[in-house]
A and B are shown apart, each in its own frame.
Chain A
Amino acid sequence: MRKRTLHRTLRGFWWLTLLFLYLPLAVVVLFSFNASNSAASFTGVSLRWYRRLLSNDVILSAFSNSMVLAVVSSVIALVIGCLIGYGMYRHRHRKLGWLIVLIYLPIVLPDIVFGISEMAFFVQVNRLTGLFQPGLGTMVIAHVTFQIPFVALIVYSRFVGLDPTLFEAATDLYATPAKRVLHFMLPTLKPALISAFFLSFTLSVDDFVISFFTSGPESATLPIYIWSAIKKGVSPEINAIASLMIGAVAIAAVFSMLVNRRQT
């Protein structure tokens, strides 16, 4: 009897957790379809705010900035992180303790510290050399920097999970070093690379703090736009943007899950 009560309580907690996680999201999605601009009462279904969104040039440019930043930084981070992950795997028998810590430090470093130091760095370099004018370029560099550890970690754990003799088997079966990368390592890594890309992409789209400190006047991303717009109060347009982002993230998550399921 007591066991049954415990199970009921746990199940209650489960639903409560889901409620707290998803109710706010549901409210945002619901009100994005609100016919009136009231944030308190739902008066009817309309696509008004989505239409308004699509005719707002500032939002569209913020959206395109976000996408360009996310795709470019994720691709660069994927290449560099992949190389680092492989390097860590190849030299895993050496004692690399502090080096590994240095690579992972950005993961635990508060974003605000990271953002401010990136900004200070870019400003100094810009003052001395004229390079690194704040804008999309500096944002890409900053984003790549914090995405790399995640990619490296994912690639490294994929390699560690493999039978090490597979590398030798490829060589033994006449694969030159280049062919070994092409026909063994990349295909084996594919699911890991896809997850790493989606994770980097999501981190980049989601990031506000670091973007805020490294952006220039022309390079506002969606989170930066939302932040500045919200100072004037929550408009239903913001709900529409948020709903679109929720949708995009959900699609990406499902896609990434499908890819992983197919591979394993």
Chain B
Amino acid sequence: MNENVTEEISETSTQRPAVALKQEQSANHDASSIEMRRLHKRFGRDTVALDGVDLTIQAGEFFTLLGPSGCGKTTLLRILAGLEAPDDGSLVIGGKDITETPPHKRSVNTVFQSYALFPHLSVRDNLAFGLKMRGVPAEQRLQKVAEIAQFIKLGQLVERRVDQLSGGQRQRIALARALICEPAVLLLDEPLSALDAGLRSQLQVELKRVQKRLGMTFVFVTHDQDEAMVMSDRIAVLDGGNIQQVGTPAEVYERPATAFVARFMGHENLYAITASQDNWVETSLGRLLLAPSEQTSAQEGWLLIRPETLELGQDQPEGYNCLQGVVKERLYRGSRIEYRLTVGDITLMAVASNLGQRIHHVGDQVTIGVCPEDLVRVAF
């Protein structure tokens, strides 16, 4: 199978401008879908890195593996790259089982967290390394380097030495070095984590744009939920070697499948459901009405209240759950205002867009309106 993939790649890698490459890639969409079946991996006796992961990634998707450190996301990425072998399970890319294929025969390239640029080579030779290893003639290598330099807007960086580059520049070179080989799948291992915030958000946008233009399958690993939401088509949230939820950023943020996902996505307003009847639930905040669609047979679980859905003020629309709270803390963030409220002795966070409405002060008594449609039941 490797021969086939290599053939396709070397075919596209000869004298084709980046724009034409886009169509080529879309035609080959199926060649870059990924299927992981029951992947198991443990390190030593006790550390379970992956506990039977099943995951399908569509061709051309920007897919993010999200989770805290030690959740198995990096192990999964390394298994995709072939740098780690699973103890059990199978990995299929483009319909071909590559579980046993060594990394140098996989049409998969990686952007490493440390960038891993070769210190003994110039930027140009770093970019051309993969092509050289594949036996692409020197003339074509030069041409491809020029094309990718234009595509990623490297400008004069190609002429530099690796030790003359800044962090952001290294990151772009590492990306270009992986893209130049036109792999079926590009893997990115927290490539932005070493950069400062401004550069980081700039590169997030750029990376997303590159992925859309190439139509290439990107598998991105991060522990930063904001980064994941900005960039991804779909996100898989991992914990303890298990996939907790797979979904679009909106699904994962608005309807987290488990309390872990909810907390990881930054939600603080989670309340244990102690009893429920029809679409009423009993929580530490009191008895709350849910939308009819939230009615389940499950008695217990968690109730999620997103801070930005709360209404603060005297006049609450009909049918809203109303709670009486006290403002304990207020953070003015410019575009929005964050309140820490207490209802009884239970804390509730609220975020209001700064639209010129009344600002509540610390110590104020406020009525908190909660729309039943905005309440979400979360499983354990």
Contacts and interface: CB of A to CB of B under 8 A. Distances in A.
Interface of A: 162-163, 165-166, 168-176, 179, 183-184, 187-188, 190, 263
8 contacts: A165-B114, A168-B110, A169-B110, A170-B129, A172-B110, A173-B129, A174-B134, A187-B120
A171 B114 contact: no
A261 to B, nearest CB: 14
Contact of B120 (A165, A168, A175, A188): A188
Contacts of B121: 187
B118 A169 contact: yes
Interface string B129-140: 110111000000
Q: Closest 8 interchain pairs by CB?
A: A169-B116, A173-B130, A174-B133, A165-B116, A171-B103, A175-B133, A187-B120, A165-B112
Interface of B: 81-83, 102-105, 108-110, 112-114, 116-121, 129-130, 132-134, 177-178, 181
Give the dominant DSSP class at A's interface: helix
A176 B120 CA distance: 19
Nearest to A175: B133
A183 B104 CA distance: 14
Nearest to A176: B104
A63 B258 CA distance: 80
Nearest to B81: A172
B133 A179 contact: yes
A259 to B, nearest CB: 13
Contact of A183 (B109, B112, B116, B129): B129
Given A168-B112, A169-B110, A169-B112, A174 B181 contact: yes
A179 B105 CA distance: 13
B104 A175 contact: yes
A172 B83 contact: yes
A102 B113 CA distance: 37
Contacts of B177: 173
A188 B162 CA distance: 14
A149 B178 CA distance: 38
B253 to A, nearest CB: 32
Contacts of B104: 171-176
A184 B132 CA distance: 12
A26 B120 CA distance: 40
